[in-house]
Chains A and B, each alone.
Chain A
Amino acid sequence: MEFNLPENTTLIADTARRYLKDNYSFEIYRQHIEQQNHVDASRWLAMQELGWFGLPFAESSGGFGGTLLDVAMVVRELGAALCLDPYVDMVVAPGKLLEYIGSDASLAMLSDVIDGRAKLACALYDYHAGYQVLTPSMKLNGKRLSGQKNFVPDGGFADTLLTTALADGELVVLAVPVAACETTRHRALDGGRIANMLFDEVEITDGMILARGKKAEQALSMLLAYLQALDCARMYGAAGALYQRTLEYAKTRKQFGVAIGSFQIIQHYLVDMFIDLQQLESMLLMVAVKAESEDASRRERASTAAKAYYADKAVRIAQQAIQIHGGVGVTEELDIGHYFRLVTHCSLTHGDRAHHINRFAGLDEVHPGE
């Protein structure tokens, strides 16, 4: 085995970190959180110029042929910077779904994503179906689409949804204009925008159906593993930032005439955070390599385990960061609480801990090391 990041991946990560350091800040984030539209035009353009829009996609699909690991490093940096720009929600997620579907029509849409012309988002969940994405509650009856999608991360401004429904029990993936549904948007826990979308007998033409049956299921399963890995990457970025800031705070905050980091219990807390962070990093490398595997069982084993582990340990790191900060840790003014909310948020998207524990328990046995 070999755990060194490829040179190119390191370069991508370093560039992302530098870009965000120069162009993003907690102050910008706090303004951003109040806004309805979560795409800042100049940053959006900058991200495109950095090559992030093409990064996740194969050259044969018109992308730059980056790996999931490359994308995960970008997303890690976005998490570390608390950046709300909906890169994953509006580029990676819809783009990967289109790429995995792989039809001429979907690849044509993908090229608009890569060019930055598309305003797409994925609407995969509703509260009835919960995390069971392959059995959405929305129905396509003949040419009429009815039902609802919730928790849609659309940056507050998507104009087209990639969404799912059952047509006579068969899964279909559709591209539907946002204008065709009744939309209400609000703030999510991480500060981003999410939407509820009601579809009331929306007329669907054949051209709007992108995939059906096995093809649709397979594309969605691959997409989910990919996004679960990116959830972990984002949490890793946040957990790392929490650890760094908390360590610094423990060295500078004084009570009883000494730094609180001189108290043994605080030292042990920080050592536990450090060790957990190491394990989280291992899990991130593991999932970022394996979650884009062609082999479904390998993919699921990796993404399910990683997501379950993160929902426990990254959350614990965030809780401890607050505890060690004392009163200031629970204020809006400090970034600590915002990272905490981001981590909680990501622990609940694309399957929460209980969901993944359940799933993992149902997976096939493999020989240790496989």
Chain B
Amino acid sequence: MNLDFTREEQEFQQSIRDWMQTNVPDDIKRCSAVGEMTGKELQQKWERLLGGQGWLALTWPEQYGGPGWTATQRYIFDLERAMAGAPPTSPFGVAMVGPVLYTFGSQEQKDRWLPGIVSGGTLWCQGYSEPNAGSDLASLKTRAERKEDHYLVNGQKIWTTQAHWADMMFCLVRTDSTVKQQKGISFLLIDMKTPGIEVRPIYSIDGHHHLNEVYFTDVRVPLENLVGQEGMGWTIAKFLLTHERTTIAGVADSHHEISRLKKAVAEAPGFLDKSQARQRIAELEIELMALEYTNFRTVAATDEGKPFGPESSGLKIKGTELQQKVSQAMVELGGMMSLTWDNPETVGSDVFNRATRRYNFLRACTIYGGSNEIQKNVLAKMLLGL
């Protein structure tokens, strides 16, 4: 067993670290240092910068624009990215619809959509959830009727992250309501500028606008925007769930948050009981280590071309729980400094002053992407045979 990066990997790590040091824009570093949202403009600036470098579609085969890195290298990149204070890239294009397109899409679809994802030029959103189809996604009702030369889409999506930024949506729609639920679902690509689409904001409890409702009224979608065949939507959605597991635990960003927390504690005004605070942080770091080594096993297995073992199954659950714990520790260690909400001036520490926004929002991370309860149901059935 070798539990260290090889010399080549260490050199790779150093080169990425150097690059990040000089290339992560200052305005992004400033945001992340205090835990503020980057916003659309900065996010796109960052993604285009990575795109230009060929470092956006990290998991993709080289023929489609991936950098040809091993899973270990991707992990290292993610870690250095996070530690440099850069935000994670938006998952919808790169981690979701891209792999769907190069796996299930036609040549025309690949040619048309992949370059915009690789370069960071096209922004995507994910139109899966509906008001009555959350955990029970297969019960979705948004209809797409096949007409002469287009699909006519009617219905409503909800919780659509960044729909107000997006150029395109990949969407699960019902094309057949006469067959078993899962069989009647198809995967459509929808241009967000098509007439009949209305995007309404939903504000979340961090006070920001990430989420939306998206209404479709007689929206015409070209037939060529169907991915795979009609009725394949569920298969594609399931493929997506198993696609990339090596960054799902959020290890890199938890490292960054813990380092921010340590710095804030070190710089905090005298009243904070620092030894008590350091103990609490130490407990979080130890949990992170367990998660990280579990993640390393998944990364190593990927590089050896082995299927994921059972160790990878808890990554999302443990990873999201840890994100919540770290953000809660940040709020609680800040004490009264965390009480400020829209304070224009610093009271003691910017990091603590802004801590509750992230804490509030991260309540969602055990809900989205398949709630932790649903994850456990799946594991009980598939892994434990219960």
Chain A contacts to B: CB under 8 angstroms: 125, 127-132, 150-151, 184, 186-189, 194, 196, 254-257, 263, 265-266, 311, 319, 322-323, 326-327, 329-333, 337-338, 340-341, 344-345, 347-349, 352-355, 358
Contact = CB atoms under 8 A, between A and B. Distances in A.
Interface stretch (B45-53, B141-149, B264-272): B264-272
Interface in B164-217: 202-205, 207, 211
A74 to B, nearest CB: 23
Contact of B341 (A187, A337, A353): A187
Contact of B129 (A323, A327, A355, A358): A327
A237 to B, nearest CB: 19
Interface stretch (B65-73, B87-95, B292-300, B342-350): B342-350
A326 B336 contact: no
16 contacts: A127-B271, A128-B270, A130-B336, A151-B340, A151-B347, A186-B341, A322-B363, A327-B158, A327-B364, A327-B368, A330-B364, A333-B202, A348-B334, A354-B276, A354-B280, A355-B335
B342 A187 contact: yes
B376 A265 contact: yes
Interface in B128-144: 129, 132, 134-136, 139
Nearest to B205: A337
A129 B341 CA distance: 21
Interface string B322-334: 0010000001111
Q: Name the prevailing secondary structure of the B interface residues.
A: mixed
B345 A184 contact: yes
A324 to B, nearest CB: 9
Given A255-B136, A331-B203, A332-B203, A189 B367 contact: no
B337 A265 contact: no
Contacts of A188: 339-341
A183 to B, nearest CB: 12
B269 A130 contact: yes
Nearest to B357: A189
A129 B337 CA distance: 12
Top 7 nearest A-B pairs (CB, nearest first) are A130-B271, A337-B205, A127-B348, A332-B203, A255-B136, A187-B341, A186-B343
A347 B339 CA distance: 10
Contacts of A355: 273, 335
Interface in B364-386: 364, 366-368, 371-373, 376
Contacts of B269: 127-128, 130
B356 interface: yes
B338 interface: yes
Contacts, number: 146
Given A127-B337, A186-B344, A352-B335, A331 B371 contact: no
A186 B336 contact: no
A131 B363 contact: no
Contacts of B207: 332
Given A150-B347, A265-B376, A340-B363, 8 more contacts: A127-B348, A131-B336, A186-B342, A265-B373, A329-B367, A330-B204, A331-B203, A348-B332
Contacts of A344: 331, 356, 359
Nearest to A263: B373
Q: Which of B207, B345, B366, B373 has the most CB of A within 10 A?
A: B373
Contacts of B151: none
B344 A327 contact: no
A254 B136 CA distance: 9
Contact of B332 (A319, A323, A338, A352): A352
Given A130-B269, A331-B211, A326 B371 contact: yes
Contacts of B331: 344, 348
B273 A358 contact: yes
B134 A184 contact: no
A186 B159 CA distance: 29
B361 interface: yes
Nearest to B362: A330
Contacts of A345: 339
Given A189-B341, A331-B203, A341-B205, A150 B129 contact: no
Nearest to B276: A354
A319 B363 contact: yes
A323 B139 CA distance: 21
A347 B345 CA distance: 23
Contact of B134 (A132, A255, A332): A255
Contact of B356 (A131, A331, A341): A341
A126 B277 CA distance: 19
Contacts of A130: 269, 271-272, 335-336
